[in-house]
Amino acid sequence: MINARSLMKILVYAILVVSLIAFITPFLLIIINAFKTNAQIIESPLSWPTSFNFDNFFVSMKEMSYFHCFTNSLLITFGSVLLIGVFAAMTAHYFVRNKTKTNNLLFFAMVASMIIPFQAIMIPLVSLYGAKLGWIQTVPKSTLIFMYLGFGSPLAVFIYHGFIKSIPLELEEAAFMDGCNRRQTFFRIILPILMPTTVTIGILNVLWIWNDFLLPLLVLQNAGRESYTLPLAIQVFKGTYTTDNEKFLPAVLLVILPILIIYLFAQRFIIQGVTQGSVK
């Protein structure tokens, strides 16, 4: 006899599997169609490719300057994340250990600023750094990193702040007794302890910056194709009315593959990092 319990279990599995198909199918379809010609894609988008042709991958790579853009994405992402991590940790540490009026006010301003969405300041941002200062025209990529540091700091300071509060002050006093000064204490004692939090912040920021579209669009769009990040580069294949799918799909795959491969190996860390980052 099938009892209610096992019936329930079958129902649960059914829901999970149907959801799984819904979540995975789009990616699978991109993969199988990336090896087809335009005619084959229109003819039978659902069928398995008859042959695995990598030619279009090379064409796409060349047309979107894949290696340039990949390097740009890499440099901008890791440059920004590194700066955010180090500077935010320093600031948060100082805020926790020196609760002066100024520091409390600065910390409050940073936390409060998190409610401001990017769209609310993108117009003045571009006006200031483009038309007024000219940074966007002269040093677009560095300007972009500078901006990511600004937009990424508040959350990072906030998360570090929460963690540093739980580090016993005695630890720092002991280091102080042993002759460390402020800076040595921070870099030799505190920063290593912060490692798990740094990983969390790193993951959150890598996912954001690597995939970000609107800010790089505003800062890099006039800097020439060689300066694009991957999300900008992929647009090369989008026409106004049509899409050249046999080049576009390989390009999509080339853009999403690096992060999917990392996910295969680090999914536990990534999911953990995202959870810790958003629950705080």
Partner 1 sequence: MIAEKNRMKRLGNQVFFTGPTVLVFTAVIIIPFLYGIYLTFFSWDGISSSMPFVGGSNYVEVIQDSKFWASVWLTIKYVLATVILINGVAFLLAYLVTNGIKGENFFRAAYFTPNLIGGLVLGFIWQFMFNNLFTAIGDKTGLDLFSKTWLGDENLAFWALVIVTVWQYAGYMMVIFIAGLMSLPKDVMEAAKIDGANGWKRLSRMVLPLMVPSFIVTIFLSLQRGFMVYDVNYGLTGGGPFGSTVMASMFVYDKAFIRFDYGAGQAQAFVLFLLAALITITQVYLGKRMEVEA
Near partner 1 in 141-170, by CB under 8 A: 146-147, 149-151, 153-154, 157, 169
What's the closest the beta carbon of residue 172 comes to partner 1, in angstroms?
Answer: 6
Give the footprint of partner 1 on residues 234-273 (CB under 8 A): 234, 238, 243, 245, 248-249, 252, 255-256, 259-260, 263, 267-268, 270-271
How far, in Å, CA of 55 to CA of 48, rounded? 18
Task: Output DSSP code: residue 243.
Answer: B
Nearer to partner 1, 131 or 224 (CB): 131
Q: Of the candidates 127, 137, 138, 142, which one interacts with partner 1 according to CB under 8 A?
A: 127
Q: Of the candidates 20, 71, 142, 193, which one interacts with partner 1 according to CB under 8 A?
A: 20
Give the footprint of partner 1 on residues 63-102 (CB under 8 A): 87-88, 90-91, 93-95, 97-98
- Tokens read off for 90: 């320093």
For residues 157 and 91, the answer to whether their CB atoms sit within 8 Å is yes
How far, in Å, CA of 8 to CA of 17, rounded? 14
Q: How many CA atoms does the CB half-sphere of 23 hold within 13 Å?
A: 6
Q: Of the candidates 10, 18, 42, 171, which one interacts with partner 1 according to CB under 8 A?
A: 42
**Partners of 243 in beta bridges:** 238
Token look-up 């096992």 returns 6
CA angle, residues 83, 88, 93, in degrees to nearest 5: 140
Q: How far is CA 14 from the centre of its chain?
A: 33
What's the closest the beta carbon of residue 121 comes to partner 1, in angstroms?
Answer: 4
What's the closest the beta carbon of residue 224 comes to partner 1, in angstroms?
Answer: 18
115 counts as binding partner 1 under rule CB under 8 A: yes
